[in-house]
Amino acid sequence: MAAPIATIPVIKKGPGLSRKLLYPLRFSPIYQYTLWGGRRLANILSAPLPTGPIGEAWILSDRDDHASRVTNGAYKGQTIRQLFEEFPEQLMGRLAKHFHRFPLLLKFLDAREMLSLQVHPSDSDTQLLPMGESGKTEAWVVLETGKESRIYAGVKPGTTANDLRLSLTNGTVAEHLRCVNPKPGDAVFIPAGTVHTLGDAVVFEVQENSDVTFRLSDWDRVDANTGQPRELQVDKALDCIDFGESSAGLTAPVVETTTHVKRERLVQCDHFQLWRLRGQSPFTVGAEGVPRILLCIDGVGQILHGGVTHPVGKGDVFLLPAELGVSAFQPRGGVTLLEIAIPDPKTGTQ
């Protein structure tokens, strides 16, 4: 029998004041038109796709121009920015003092064609970062692939900036890049400063909350909406590329537990930690005193917290506020989730 649906508890904030406790917050996707996009995100998300090639669905975004909105419960319609500003400690716990906005941006990408060849600056590239922006380290989890699937991540040993600049003029740039033929389930780490692109694949992406991208090449494409090629930023891209040894590329999953749920750590870096959870029996999610993000990539189930059930379907993303602590997840059949933590910027712990 399903757990009873309870009212959301109210706590006191001060004399005569009260507020509803936070709860697992679900957000609606924000779709983005791209030249290289397709229609495969309809296989993941229930919200109808707009017309045209849709390359990105921003599923958790605290950006001024694209702010995710809650779709469930007492705070339905509120943006993540509004909740962050009103309830920083309840949402972020002991991390609240370190961030002025939610520090991660989550997306699904449908790269029907090859993305532009690009690089993102690091946090230390201050001369290349607009005011208020951070660097952009990211990671992908591959969900679907096709016959032409490719991921380029990093330059081959010995490659120089002059090599890349020359290769951009004679069409041989791919010869200087490390290439992977991905398969579903692969995880790929893209630290800031890594030249990268992908094509003919659908991936989940987690990244620093930044939208700074420098394009080296867009493969001579022309935007059908404008009739013009997109702008390139070759000099800035070359300035922030890491030409040394790099951790970019496929990661090796680390199995942390197999009791109740198989938990694999896919990526661990200064900006986020990413696990894959596979199970059929109830297991726990979330953590004490810090927020966690939960994303369902296969199967269905429900989050149970405080006597309230929150249905979870394929493609759903939930933010578990810090004040929730640990919650129970109840699968209905087999389920695959991704769970994401935000490390403490000072200590690196989560």
First CA to last CA distance, the chain: 35
Given a contact cutoff of 8 angstroms between Cβ atoms, the answer to whether 262 and 338 are in contact is no
Strand 104-111 vs strand 54-60: parallel, antiparallel, or unpaired?
Answer: antiparallel
The first and second tokens of residue 75, run together, are 């705070």
Place of tokens 């002991």: 94
Q: For residues 326 and 289, what is the distance between their CA atoms, to the nearest angstrom?
A: 9
CB atoms < 10 A from the CB of 259, how many? 9
Query: How far, in whole angstroms, is CA 340 from its chain's centroid?
Result: 9
Query: What is the torsional sign of CA 157, 197, 207, 329?
Result: negative
Say whether 81 is catalytic.
Answer: no
Phi and psi at residue 290, in whole multiples of 5°? -140, 155
Given a contact cutoff of 8 angstroms between Cβ atoms, the answer to whether 9 and 306 are in contact is yes
- In the set 215, 263, 276, 292, the catalytic residue is 215
Burial (CB count <10 Å: 0-12, 13-18, 19+), residue 174: middle
Positions annotated as catalytic residues are 215
